[in-house]
Amino acid sequence: MKPLPIAALALVAALGACDRKPAPPAEAPTAPTAPVAAAPAPTARPLAFDQTDPAAKVALSLPAEIANYPALHALLYDREVASLRTFAAKAETDRKASDGKFPWRPYNRQGQWFLAADAAPLVGLRALWFEDTGGAHPNHGGASLLWDAAANREIQPKALFRPEADMTVLDKAICDAVAQAKTHREGAVPLSDTFSCPKWSQTVLVLAPSAIPGKVGGLTALIDPYVVGPYSEGDYEVTIPVSAFQVLLAPAYAGAFGGAPKSPGAPDGTVSVKMDVK
């Protein structure tokens, strides 16, 4: 076989080059994906608020334990301070409207919160509030807040109970406790058509700590003046043991309850916490 001429060799080389595919371009390096930023934690709020001006004095005090629940702390502080500032603004409007016709006596509103119980997932707070707007006498009363620490949100008292639960069981337990407390309070007016038993939803319900640590032993009902007696009779605090309403509890929260209340409360139903009025 004769060797191919040089011209033929050149043609074969050229055709082979045409068949080759060009090398793919080098890929640019991929930039690292930025991590997704987590939702910022609530900014820490103070444990107290105090504002005094010519029209009013307003103040708030929160328990130190609330700092363990930043979202709860932020919600309660912001809500209470907004309410106090609204009260102070109304006082300033009233002061200006008085136009110096009589000596102005500054309004006063104060609130103090306490940790009532901490039994996972439930956290219960209670409060005393005091308000003076120059009437015949100051007004005062109680408040509460229930917090689901697992869901990180506030819940209403009705969430503690099954939707189909017969709540007359709790109504009767509260009524019987108030009637019993009245027998221990000097000058108390018996329950009647004028001052009748409130339903559970008309009271302020507070978690009552159990003798078993980390559990809720019952519910304390706070009843403001004028509800079951005249203003002079004062307010009532009665504690109902969980054994009286265990069957009413919603499955989501039933496990937080157990044992007997750590304290049954005063026999005459007097309030167990005191407010530091400034």
* CA atoms within 13 A of residue 91's CA, in its CB half-sphere: 24
How would you write the pLDDT of the chain (278 residues) with one tens digit per residue?
A: 444 444 433 433 343 443 444 444 444 444 455 555 555 666 889 999 999 999 999 999 999 999 999 999 999 999 999 999 999 999 999 999 988 788 899 999 999 999 999 999 999 999 999 999 988 788 899 999 999 999 999 999 999 999 999 999 999 999 999 999 999 999 999 999 899 999 999 999 999 999 999 999 999 999 999 999 998 899 999 999 999 999 999 999 999 999 999 999 999 999 999 988 77
In this structure, the number of other CB atoms found within 10 A of the CB of residue 144 comes to: 21
The secondary structure element, H or E, covering residue 208 is strand 204-209
3-state secondary structure of 68: helix
Angle subtended at Cα 214 by Cα 46 and Cα 206, rounded to the nearest 5 degrees: 65
Pair 154, 144: CB distance under 8 Å: no
Pairing state between β 56-61 and 48-52: antiparallel
Q: Give the CA diameter of the chain.
A: 136
Amino acid identity, position 246: Q
Give the amino acid at 251. P
User: Encoding tokens for residue 158?
Assistant: 């009705």
Show the domains of the chain with their CATH numbers. Answer: 48-254 (3.30.565.40)
CA–CA distance, 12 with 14 (Å, rounded to integer): 5
Find out whether 131 and 139 touch, Cβ atoms under 8 Å. yes
Cβ distance 251 to 87 under 8 Å? Answer: no
Instruction: List helix spans (H) across the chain.
Output: 6-19, 70-98, 168-182, 251-254
Are 78 and 47 a contacting pair, CB within 8 Å?
Answer: no
d(CA 263, CA 19): 94
**Three-class SS state of 55:** coil
Quote the CA–CA distance of 126 and 146 in Å, as a whole number.
9
Tell if the pTM clears 0.85, that is, is over it: no
Per-residue pLDDT, 35: 56
Is residue 260 helix, strand or coil? Answer: coil
Task: Report residue 115 as tokens.
Answer: 């940790």
pLDDT confidence of residue 41 = 63
